[in-house]
A and B are shown apart, each in its own frame.
Chain A
């Protein structure tokens, strides 16, 4: 038998491991990234975005952040529309990650305005007080563009010499923010997946002072990073004199405002807590 024939044993072992390999690793190339699964809106990275992606890889961001939203209620409500194979065809390597020490970033693009990211990368704790993310202030150094053209050619991504020239004066942080803002935003999921508020938009807590402290607590946790602890504004506008009807404020918080980069809080906070924040904000304006 082959327990006396090492070379035959070696070949048989190779054969044994090649069966599962062929079926589950080689064969799927036929089905994954199939042209039929192509999503027309998904675009290759621009030179600036690609440089940002390479910085993301260099810094090992994928050790704490995943980039794939699973078709599970908790994932979809928290991060956005579930990830589709066609969205990753330009990702060499893929960056799905394996551990969410921080939140998933597959759909971070367009969630916050650029200013939020700049502040957050330089000093994460300034925006998210109990975060354990390292400070990336050193990314404010100039972007090295020596390899950019070769990188774009290696990946067969379209670019012009004007694109490369436009990188002059950019910092690594500019590239990182450009990359983050592209993530998951090629498909128009924010518009189609938007939670529409149905029914009568009447504040159930109007003039109910008992919810003010809770509303203030939610504000401090979720809103103060951009609008300031004293409502005087920062990344977002000041809210101290919010002269808008309750329903309009509610809609802005619940659905977000694509124009100014205001994220939607409907899925994470729910109607009741959004109304409590609105009540708190309106109370500040009136008093």
Chain B
């Protein structure tokens, strides 16, 4: 199929493969640092300490696994939705090399301690500059393909893709403004509370433009493709799109409640966070209503299972997030393990499940082979969901318990517990979290095994005809 239409799918395969490799790195490092929290003797200074490894975990997850897989899926989706081959396959191949160089450089420089300390923007300026080049050539390729399209109508997924391209560009450039001291050291261009406000404007909208709009683009494309029925409401999708990208940018300061950032900035962030429930849940409803009369596919079609569980976790995430953005609740749970519990529901539950669905859809079509084992797909699914739930639930309980202990006071107004008394109560939960990480790691290994077996020894597919008939 791709030969006939001239679609550039070799880069899709390349990005898919490498994003899975970096995803495995992210999970391996995540498991290691979760054990370091329980057994501090697993820190091997100077390079392999928690402080240096945690940014490697988050960067490998967000940029290696997240962005890498979005590049694969965006290239695939854009060519199909525009009925146009990629503008420049050569540039895309260069992008794949550059992508891997950047992620590898990120891992090495972070382990060496070259770190700007700003979360999800840790990379020192030379590496950050390469990220900018990477994003420019990626954006140019996608935009030019869309401009030269043969299909006039722009499906909603392309809207989310375009918003992602412009959003990430603006965020990354502003938050990476630095005063360089040497090739390996720079200082932020902003100071103190200003720097904090810029950072969380960036940090929270990285969640918007990297971990929300791309998975939504993927979801809106692959759900109809998988179920064979169209999305419930294109109009609801459009309204949700504009309100989502408009409102998201106001909410960064909910990471800074009760800090010296001005109160009115915090209050705006709080209000807009609550308002974001509406567009977020519009996408959830769009997913659920698209399943009208199709719910049996949850049983019969594993792609649908991944996508609907994914959008369900998105729905839970977008209720929990706004509740955390309220001052009173933030005062209680902020800075505790509740927050990593929240983040991992989004990362493992929502983003990763949707990416897995995309990859399970792609592999048979790109390699012409049926998935090697549907049993293993189901095993992967359940291990991933169970691992993630144990992770998140143990962290929520841990966060509430520690918060309650930290805030407990005696009748004379003094504090009832010292910090260490609350701290030692966390160990059982940290053990549970490390175990959950191992379960998730196993699920990922099952996925990788199944993918490798599919590509090397899956049965040849029969689905060329059916895929053509359901073309969007």
Binding site for B on A (CB under 8 A): 3-4, 6-7, 9-10, 13-14, 16-21, 23-25, 28-29, 31-33, 54, 57-64, 66, 68, 70-74, 77-78, 83-85, 87-104, 124-125, 128, 130-138, 147, 150-151, 154-155, 221-222, 266-272
Contact = CB atoms under 8 A, between A and B. Distances in A.
Nearest to B209: A17
Nearest to B45: A138
Contact of A130 (B159, B165, B407, B423): B423
A78 B113 CA distance: 31
Contacts of A100: 335-336
A23 B271 CA distance: 14
Nearest to B194: A32
Contacts of B311: none
A98 B255 CA distance: 8
Given A85-B193, A91-B191, A100-B335, A154 B249 contact: no
Interface in B378-393: none
Given A74-B407, A134-B49, 15 more contacts: A6-B143, A20-B249, A28-B194, A28-B197, A32-B194, A54-B185, A92-B195, A94-B195, A132-B40, A267-B414, A268-B415, A270-B410, A270-B414, A270-B415, A271-B414
Contacts of A155: 179, 187
Contact of B196 (A16, A19, A78, A94): A94
A85 B192 contact: yes
Contact of B272 (A20, A21, A150): A20
B115 A60 contact: yes
Given A54-B185, A94-B192, A138-B45, A77 B414 contact: yes
A87 to B, nearest CB: 8
6 contacts: A17-B170, A20-B247, A57-B117, A60-B54, A89-B192, A147-B181
Central interface residue in B165, B182, B335, by most chain A CB within 10 Å: B335
Contacts of A266: 414
A217 to B, nearest CB: 11
A17 B246 contact: yes
B40 A134 contact: yes
Nearest to B406: A74
B51 A31 contact: no
Central interface residue in B242, B249, B340, by most chain A CB within 10 Å: B249
B249 A6 contact: no
Nearest to B154: A3
Contact of B153 (A4, A13, A23, A135): A4
A236 B162 CA distance: 62
Contacts of B163: 13, 17
A23 B250 contact: yes
A91 B49 contact: no
A17 B418 contact: no
Interface in B145-171: 146-147, 152-154, 158-159, 162-163, 165-167, 170
B52 interface: yes
B116 interface: yes
Contact of B52 (A59, A72, A132): A59
A135 B43 contact: yes
B55 interface: yes
A60 B40 contact: no
A136 B245 contact: no
Nearest to B411: A270
A6 B192 contact: no
A64 B54 CA distance: 10
Interface string B18-51: 0000000000000000001111100101100111
B418 A221 contact: yes
B195 A16 contact: no
A155 B182 CA distance: 13
A62 B340 CA distance: 15
A184 to B, nearest CB: 13
Contact of A6 (B38, B55, B158, B197): B158
A157 B407 CA distance: 39
Contacts of A66: 335
Contacts of A61: 51
Given A99-B335, A151-B181, A17 B187 contact: no
B255 A93 contact: no
Contact of A33 (B191, B258, B339): B191
Nearest to B147: A6
Contact of A132 (B38, B158, B191, B340): B38
A124 to B, nearest CB: 8
Contacts of A268: 414-415, 418
Interface stretch (B2-10, B260-268, B433-441, B459-467): B260-268
A144 B163 CA distance: 45
B468 interface: no
Interface in B244-296: 245-253, 255-256, 258-262, 265, 268-269, 272
